[in-house]
Amino acid sequence: MSATNQAGEIIPLAPAHLRQAAEVMARAFHTDPLWQYLLPDEARRAALLLSSFRLFVRYTLRYGVGYTTTNVAGAACWLPPGNTTPTAGRMLRVAIHGAPLAFGPVALRRYSLVESHTARLHKQYAPGPHWYLWGLGVDPPSQGQGLGSLLIQPILARADADRLPCYLETMNERNLPFYQKRGFQVTSDGCPPGTTLRVWSMVREPQSADQGADPLNMLPKYAP
């Protein structure tokens, strides 16, 4: 059975998906190296992941472009050309009561070190108009079935049509082959100063039709 048959059709992310999408993303990222580094305690991590991804999905709904499935088995969250840097003001506007997340001073310091490093990488390796894959998560029971590929395909196709690159960072080495298979290439690899967390930045240049050996290029093109 195909990933789309198991998870439903790929559809634009909508406000009605907020709760489920945040829960799925929280489960998908529970063992991610970034979140393990920021919040080593599992119980605290689980609680803060959920509140963090509620904010994350709200931001995507208001300022970005997202895709999910009809049964919300995963989500791809993109920021579009010209709006690829999340701002503090916009974060506050989409936060519940504008309250900051209760990360605590240690986690906030770690986050600050990582964030400043990834911001430099982003500016260096994607200086012009581009699509930013801000987050991609698939519910653990649905992983390994091709759903992640389907979720990012609409914007990859749109970027190709507009001749624009796509950019992302990952802190999980296991993700590299997945993204490389879809045209992303590693542009940097290293730890932010003062941390033990390894970060890879990746860029995907626009692909032409004759580069489409990947059968995903034959999928219908979705637009928000």
3-state secondary structure 89-113: HHHHHHCHHHCCCCCCHHHHHHHHH
CATH number at residue 69: 3.40.630.30
Q: Is residue 224 domain-resident?
A: no
Any domain includes 223: no
Does some domain include residue 198?
A: yes
Would you state the pLDDT for residue 215?
A: 38
Six token digits for residue 126:
């994607």
- C-alpha 107/C-alpha 88 separation (Å) is 18
pTM, entire model:
0.87
Asked, for residue 122, whether it belongs to a domain, the answer is yes
* Residue 174 included in any domain: yes
What pLDDT sits at residue 91?
76
74-79: strand order across its sheet: 10-12, 65-69, 74-79, 131-138, 166-170, 199-204, 185-190
pLDDT in tens, 80-134: 999 998 877 777 777 654 444 578 888 889 999 999 999 999 999 999 999 999 9
Task: Say how many domains are in the chain.
Answer: 1
99 or 183, higher pLDDT = 183
pLDDT tops 50 at residue 14: yes
Query: 162 vs 61, 78, 85, 131, 143, CA distance in Å?
Result: 22, 16, 20, 11, 30
For residue 156, pLDDT over 50 is answered with: yes
Question: When comparing pLDDT for 133 and 223, which is higher?
Answer: 133
The whole-number pLDDT of residue 219 equals 39
The length of the chain in residues reads 224
Domain that holds residue 185: 3-218
pLDDT tens profile 60-81: 999 999 999 999 999 999 999 9
Looking at the domain assignment, is residue 186 inside a domain?
A: yes
User: Based on the number of CB atoms within 10 Å of its own CB, is 185 exposed (0-12), middle (13-18) or buried (19 or more)?
Assistant: exposed
